[in-house]
Every structure is written in C-alpha cells, then in structure tokens.
Amino acid sequence: MKHKETFEEAGHKVLNYLLPNCKKEMSSLQYTNAISSLKYITQWQAETMYSEEEVLELLRKSHFVAQNIDEWFEEFKKK
C-alpha cells in the first residue's frame, strides 16, 4: 500500500525546498509556524479547488461558452 503524504509532510518538503537551510536559520518556533502556515494553506486550497467535472458543469451553464465546450476544455488543459 502506497503511503499518502500528509499536509504536514508536504509542508516540510516545500519549506526545505524553498529554504534549504531553514532549520538552521530559523528558530524552532519560526519553523513550526511556517509549517503550520503551509499546512493551513494547502488544506484551504484542497478544499476550495473545483474538480474537472465541476468546472465543465459551470462552463456549460455559463452564457459566454463556445459551441463545443468539451472540446475547448480539452484543448485548454493541454496548454
């Protein structure tokens, strides 16, 4: 069974990628706060993202859409 990365583990990876020496340069509290902030941001983003199906449904209901929205959407994803 493949391990699913937690928000906290992802936060450690991101922070250490952005600031390779962050553990040495930051105080323990600063590091903990940075990880907590990244965890909050990733959770918020995951909760507010739309699925592909939701985006297509919104586009189909909108009034500005092209004739073949599904074809347009597939082309848009390639870019």
Give the list of residues 6+ apart from residue 66 with CB closer than 8 angstroms, or none. Answer: 72
Confidence of residue 27 (pLDDT cuts 50, 70, 90): confident
| CA end-to-end span of the chain | 33
Which amino acid, residue 11?
G
CA 64 – CA 78 distance, rounded (Å): 21
Confidence of residue 6 (pLDDT cuts 50, 70, 90): confident
The whole-number pLDDT of residue 67 equals 62
Residue 37 has pLDDT above 80, yes or no: yes
The mean pLDDT value for 60-74 works out to 71
Task: Look at residue 63 and give its three-state secondary structure.
Answer: coil
